Amino acid sequence: MKYIDEFRDGATARRVAGAIAAEAEPDHHYHLMEFCGGHTHAIYRYGVQDLLPPQVRMIHGPGCPVCVLPVGRLDMALSLASRPEVILCSYGDMLRVPGSGGRSLLKARGEGADVRMVYSAADALELARRHPERQVVFFAIGFETTTPPTAVAIRQAHSEDLENFSVLCNHVLTPAAVANILDSPAAREIGSVPIDGFLGPAHVSIVIGTHAYERFAEGYRKPVVISGFEPLDVMQSILMLIRQLNEGRAEVENQYTRAVTRLGNVKAQDLCAEIFEPRSEFEWRGLGVVPDSALQIRKEFGRFDAERRFDLTYAPVGDNRACECGSILRGVLEPTDCKLFGTACTPETPMGSCMVSSEGACAAYYQYGRFRQPVKSATA
Amino acid sequence: MLDDQQALIDLDGVQKEISLELLDDVAVGDYVVVHVGYALGRLDPEEAERTLALLGEAGLEAAR
Ligand code: SF4
C-alpha cells in the first residue's frame, strides 16, 4: 500500500540500524519509552529491539487504551449490561477484558446480557436509532484518537434528541500520563526506571499536535520524538532520540511530518472541548489515580452521560493479584516476568488486559516475541 | 465522496466507508489517516517523500 510498504523496507532498516549502532555511545544507556501501544506492537512485530545495540533499550509505556482501564470502570459497564433495558456496546477488545471475578462483557453476554461489539461510535448511535425502546450505552474508551468520534456521536445525539443514547466515558489524556510517569513518586520508588527519552505517539499526535509535548522537553529536559507507526519510522525516531541525547539536547522533534503538525487537528480539539471537560481525577491501571488525566461529559450534555443517567459511582477494585499488567504498564516489568504469561494467560484465555489488546505488551510479546526470548537470555 | 460527510476510501483495493466529520476540505485523491472509522488527519505525500529521503541518507552515513 502506498506510503506504507516504503516504510517497511528491510534493507533500509538494517542500514538505519547500522547508523544507530555507530552513533550510540557504548558506555551510555539509552532507555527510550515508546508511549503508545501501536508502537509496542510494531516493535515486537518487526523485531526492532533485535536491531538495536544492547545499550539502547525500549521501555513499553501505558499507551494501550484497553490495558489502562481499571477493573472498577469495567465493572460499571458490567453492571449496566446486567440491566434488562440496556444494550451495552463497545470496541471489540474491550469485551474480552476480565473484570471482577474474571467476568468479561463477553461472559455477561453468554449469561444473557445484551452486549454488542461496534466498530465506531457512529454504530452505537445507529443502534439507538434502531432500538428506541431500549437504552443504548456506548462504553467509550481510548486516548485522544477515539475521543473526537465519541464527541461527534454525542453532538449528533443532542441534535437528534436521541433520548435512549448515552456514553460511559473513559477517555484519557496522553500528556497527563506522560507527566505522571515522569514525576510520580510511586513510579520512582518502585520503578527505578530511568527514562532518557520518549517516542511520541503517531495517531494521538495527529490530533493533539507536537506542541502538547513541549513542556516535557522544556520542564523535564527529556527529548521527545513523535514517530510514525511503521518500523522504519520507529527506527529513524530512535536514531533522532540518540542524536539528541548525544548532543545534550531535549527538544520535541517530529519524525512523522507526513501526518503530524505542531497544532494538530484543531477542529477535532474544538469539538472535544465543546462536549467534554477534564475530570479532576481518574484511576489508571498501573499508574493509580492521576489528576486531570481523563475527560467527562459536560453538564450541558449531561443527559447523554451514562454515569448521570444511571446514577453510577466508581468504586476502585484491586487487580488480579497474579497479573503484572500494572508494573508492565509502568515500564517496570516485562511480560515474561509474569508467572502466568503464556501458561495460564494467553490471548485465548486472557487473565489481564495487557493480553487482550494487540497493543498490549503481553499480547504483542506472545504473538511475536516469545520465541526470541531464549536466544536473548542466552547471550545476556 | 458520499453524502453527509461520508467518503469511500480505498485500502489496497478494499473499499471502506469512513466519516470526514473531523476534517475540513478533503478532496478526492487525498490520503487520510483513519482511526475507528473517522479520518483524523491528512497525509502529506511531499513530507512522506522527504522522510524517505532522510531515511536513505541515514543509511548512507552509516555506510561511510
Ligand atoms: S501475562 Fe497475563 S496475567 Fe501476566 S501480566 Fe500479562 S496480562 Fe497479566
**pLDDT tens by residue, A73-106:** 999 999 999 999 999 999 989 999 999 988 999 9
Is residue A39 within 8 Å of A229, Cβ to Cβ? yes
Q: Do A149 and B54 touch (CB under 8 A)?
A: no
- Closest by CA to A54, choosing from A20, A80, A88, is A20
Q: Within a 10 A sphere around the Cβ of A107, how many other Cβ atoms?
A: 17
Q: Do A203 and B40 touch (CB under 8 A)?
A: yes
Q: Which residues of A touch B61 (CB under 8 A)?
A: 19
Classify A331 in phi/psi space as left (phi over 0), alpha (psi -120 to 50) or beta. Answer: left
Q: Where exactly are the structural domains of chain B?
A: 6-57
A206 with A190, same domain: the answer is: yes
Would residue A194 count as lying in a domain? yes
A103 with A178, same domain: the answer is: no
Q: Which positions of chain A have pLDDT values less than 50?
A: 187-190, 373-380
Which domain-ending residue is among A234, A254, A274? Answer: A254
C-alpha distance from residue A348 to each of A68, A80, A97, A343 (Å): 20, 25, 11, 11
A86 with A231, same domain: the answer is: no
Would residue A15 count as lying in a domain? yes
Overall domain count for chain A = 3
Domain B6-57 has CATH 3.60.21.10: no
Is residue A221 within 8 Å of A195, Cβ to Cβ? no
Would residue A207 count as lying in a domain? yes
At residue A78, the pLDDT reads 96
ipTM of the complex: 0.82
Pairing of strands B14-19, B6-11: antiparallel
A56 with A165, same domain: the answer is: no
A133 with A161, same domain: the answer is: yes
CA distance B35 to chain A (A): 7
At residue B14, the pLDDT reads 75
* Residues forming beta bridges with residue B8, ordered by sequence position: B17
**pLDDT tens by residue, A120-139:** 899 999 999 999 999 999 99
A153 with A272, same domain: the answer is: yes
pTM for the structure as a whole: 0.89
**Sequential pLDDT tens for chain B (64 residues):** 666 677 777 777 777 788 888 988 888 888 888 888 888 888 888 888 888 888 877 654 544 4
At residue A374, the pLDDT reads 41
The dihedral sign for the CA sequence A6, A8, A9, A12: positive
- What cell does A100 get? 471482577
CA-proximal residue: ligand 1, atom 7 (nearest): A352
Would residue A314 count as lying in a domain? no
Would residue A379 count as lying in a domain? no
For residue A149, what are the domain limits? Answer: 67-173+264-309
A98 with A168, same domain: the answer is: yes
Amino acid making up residue A109: R
Rg (CA), chain B: 16
At residue B2, the pLDDT reads 60
Q: Do B59 and A12 touch (CB under 8 A)?
A: yes
CA B56 to centroid of ligand 1, rounded, Å: 39
